[in-house]
Structure 1
């Protein structure tokens, strides 16, 4: 009987500790890095109305733009555009340093551009090894919701 009790105790201990699966660790992808914008989607949802979305696919020059999340709190965005003076070539359109806060739990992000008073607020709606979807929301008009979602791909540094 003692052997049966010991066997039952050992089996209970095995079941209690054997269910831990250390392979289920969550792979956390960092926001830090360099990101290339591919497209953006503008969404407008009027109160009581139907949502409208417009997708904007970037030109080759616009795809030369970069978002750099250098640290856990600072970065820089450089936007390129097609040159009006030299057709077929690209030129810098905007170049802004920024600070940001990012809550990994809620995915909320706030970006404060240097020289601009009001920060952008939004969410990181997708973040994996290769893709970042960053949605910036505009809730200043109480009669409508507006957002811009930037789809970007990670640029591997060499």
Structure 2
């Protein structure tokens, strides 16, 4: 999952767009099971590059190619993540990885294990059609910049 976040964070550094946020995060009537596409990613924190730190608070829907990126959660605790990127006008799959996961319904924590990497995300919303997760990161490096703060990912059910 960190590879997905890394990819989307890089895309946000290239996009300099305004932000919006949906604060309705109290609904937990759904299940993580099934296939989800990544709808939007938000960054709220500080970006540092070349000794200059800049606050950032941005949430932006991904383009149609990037929205082909999916995460599938199976009943048996396994899953699959695929990532897509628009490179030179061509939508190309750049990742296709299997993982294992656990979801603790009482703490609302989703833990995904890919190869040697473990990603822990706190869900703030889980309905039949939408899942919202937040992850706090420190010194997350990508594209020559360092981000510290909260990454919010909104996924919609396929």
Structure-1-length-normalised TM-score = 0.65
Matched, 1:153 2:156: yes
Alpha-carbon distance in structure 2 between the residues aligned to 1:63 and 1:102:
23
* Structure-to-structure mapping, 1:32-47, within 5 angstroms: 32-44=33-45
- The count of aligned residue pairs is 119
Question: Which residue matches 1:119?
Answer: 118
Instruction: Provide closer, same or farther for how the CA distance between residues 135 and 72 of structure 1 changes in structure 2, counting only shifts above 3 A.
Output: farther
Alpha-carbon distance in structure 2 between the residues aligned to 1:98 and 1:119:
10
Alpha-carbon distance in structure 1 between the residues aligned to 2:138 and 2:102:
19
Q: Which runs of 5+ in 2 are unaligned?
A: 1-27, 48-54, 141-146
More contact order relative to length (CA 8 Å, sep ≥ 6): 2
Instruction: Provide closer, same or farther for how the CA distance between residues 72 and 128 of structure 1 changes in structure 2, counting only shifts above 3 A.
Output: farther
Structure-2-length-normalised TM-score = 0.65
Q: Which runs of 5+ in 1 are unaligned?
A: 1-26
Alpha-carbon distance in structure 2 between the residues aligned to 1:42 and 1:97:
26
Question: Which residue matches 1:130?
Answer: 129
Contact persistence 2:29–2:126 (CA under 8 A): no
Instruction: Provide closer, same or farther for how the CA distance between residues 54 and 75 of structure 1 changes in structure 2, counting only shifts above 3 A.
Output: same
Secondary structure at 1:59's aligned position in 2? coil
Q: Deviations over 1:59-93 (max 9, x none)?
A: 11001111101225211110111133xx2x31102
When Rg is computed on C-alpha atoms for both structures, the one with the higher figure is 1
Which structure has the highest strand share of the two?
2
Report the Cα offset of residue 140 of structure 1. 6.8
Question: Which residue matches 1:67?
Answer: 71
* Structure-to-structure mapping, 1:21-100, within 5 angstroms: 28-44=29-45, 52-84=56-88, 87=89, 89-100=90-101
Which structure has the highest helix share of the two?
1
Alpha-carbon distance in structure 2 between the residues aligned to 1:80 and 1:34:
15
Contact persistence 1:32–1:72 (CA under 8 A): no
Secondary structure at 1:105's aligned position in 2? coil
Instruction: Give the alignment's Cα RMSD to 1 decimal.
Output: 2.5
Report the Cα offset of residue 145 of structure 1. 5.3
